[in-house]
Amino acid sequence: MKHSQNNQNISYVPILGLTLGDPAGIGPEIACKALADKRVQSRVIIIGDATAIEDACRHYTPAMDVHVLFDCSDFQNNKINVLDMAILKPGSFEPGKVQKSCGFASFKYIEKSIELALAKKIDAVVTNPINKEAMHLAGFDYPGHTEIFAERCGIKDFSMLFLLKNVGVAHVTTHCSLRNAIKLVKTDRVVATIKLLNTAMTELGITQPRLAVGGLNPHAGENGLFGDEEINEIIPAIDICQKAGINVSGPYPPDTIFMRAFKGEFDGIAAMLHDHGFVALK
């Protein structure tokens, strides 16, 4: 495996925007505890409601001071910096409950983080957990973070990328019913995922990443015995990508492909289903 050289200025400390997530969830606790950890070397700005962070800090990190800012340039070291969205009033929501107001707030935090990143006021975004039910109650019908980012950035082809032990995993389908997921496994969608995975792994520093494609059916269909999606949709996608110069092979049975990757055979995997990839990773 060959890694490319990083020519960036190593003295620069990036500014990260950390969305609060659902205020009634674990986001405030995670944010406060993480920023109190001395291993965090980046400049991190929480994007959320200051009242929620101040309350969490009183419980979990009382030794840390909260600095409320209204512009990213006002960052202060050795403090928990919060870009106050001022959406929720103190005491207006109940922790641990699904609430429309919290779903609305969590969406607005994400929206603001994207706005700041596109304006180059922050270098990257880190997201805390959201509650999809609460967000839907607020009228935002998105399966998750990924779709929000893609829409706001005008991106058509996109996928989540998970990286574990130097193995990247991208999913052809994620948050939908199993019945609908099977219908979505089409050649063009598989091709798009493989290409995205190849680009991502290359940008992470791997020259000519070795990619593997997982099958949809048990035993990757067993030559049509257990399903024909591999023959009709997945193999044609692999052929297209191979002809485009991508080092990709498969389809391989989903129950063994991850073991092979973590033993060093592959740098990345394109998984057909949410649970194929996430069960293995999580």
pLDDT at 40: 84
Per-domain residue ranges of the chain: 15-152, 161-281
- Residue 141 CA to residue 172 CA, distance in Å, equals 20
- 15-152 and 161-281 in the same fold: yes
Regions of the chain with pLDDT less than 70: 1-10
CATH number of 15-152: 3.40.718.10
Closest CA to 160 of 258, 263, 268: 268
- 33 CB-side CA count, 13 A: 8
pLDDT at 10: 58
Whole-prediction pTM value? 0.80
Q: Are 140 and 155 in contact (CB under 8 A)?
A: no
Write down the CATH superfamily of domain 161-281: Isopropylmalate Dehydrogenase (3.40.718.10)
pLDDT at 23: 95
Sorted by sequence, the CB contacts under 8 Å of residue 74 that are 6+ apart come out as 67
Sorted by sequence, the CB contacts under 8 Å of residue 17 that are 6+ apart come out as 44, 45, 47, 83, 113, 116, 117, 122, 124, 125, 126
